[in-house]
């Protein structure tokens, strides 16, 4: 990129030109959209993300779930305790390696999946995106995240 194609310092520092602000404000809007949908399920947004991962692969180790969600144990442990108190999952020591804690969905946790099934369609409808557009945008944001984390 040549210096001629770079914006001026004045332009570069405009709030609406910041990718970070676009992502941050979109995240806030997305979380606001999810709130009433998740209130009906008795879940917070981070709890919903954990449940999505567990509906995909039940029996994950806590450490694997933390990696999948990009959450540290200090954030993940209280979240899992609340889900366990709500009787949506159980945490058990791995019999083969007592250092590992495995997470298993309860019957109620598995049943909640059916109630959550309509949420993606609601979000897609609210975004006014075609499915192909939403999937492409998701892939772009994931690729950005992966580059930033590398």
Hey, what domains does the chain have and what are their CATH numbers?
A: 42-113 (1.10.10.10)
Run of H or E including 103: strand 101-105
The chain-wide mean pLDDT, for the chain, equals 94
Nearest-angstrom CA–CA distance, 103 and 91 = 5
pLDDT of residue 6: 72
Confidence of residue 140 (pLDDT cuts 50, 70, 90): very high
pLDDT (0 to 100) of residue 56:
97
Residue pair 60/102 in contact by the 8 Å Cβ criterion: yes
Categorize the per-residue pLDDT at 54 as very low, low, confident or very high, splitting at 50, 70 and 90.
Answer: very high
Q: Report DSSP state, residue 6.
A: S
Say whether pLDDT at 41 is over 60. yes
Please tell me the predicted confidence (pLDDT) of residue 101.
93
User: Could you give phi then psi for residue 91, rounded to 5 degrees?
Assistant: -120, 125
């Amino acid at each position: 990129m040549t210096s001629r194609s770079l914006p001026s310092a004045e332009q570069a520092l405009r709030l609406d030109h910041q990718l970070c602000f676009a992502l941050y404000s979109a995240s806030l809007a997305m979380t606001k959209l999810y709130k009433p949908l998740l209130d009906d399920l008795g879940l917070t947004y981070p709890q919903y993300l954990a449940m999505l991962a567990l509906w995909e692969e039940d029996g994950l180790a806590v450490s694997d779930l933390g990696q999948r969600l990009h959450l540290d144990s200090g954030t993940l442990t209280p979240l899992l305790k609340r889900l366990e108190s709500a009787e949506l999952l159980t945490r058990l020591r791995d019999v083969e390696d007592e250092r590992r804690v495995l997470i298993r969905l309860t019957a109620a946790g598995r049943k909640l999946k059916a109630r959550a099934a309509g949420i993606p369609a609601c979000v897609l409808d609210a975004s006014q995106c075609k499915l192909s557009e939403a999937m492409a945008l998701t892939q772009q944001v994931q690729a950005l995240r992966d580059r930033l984390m590398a």
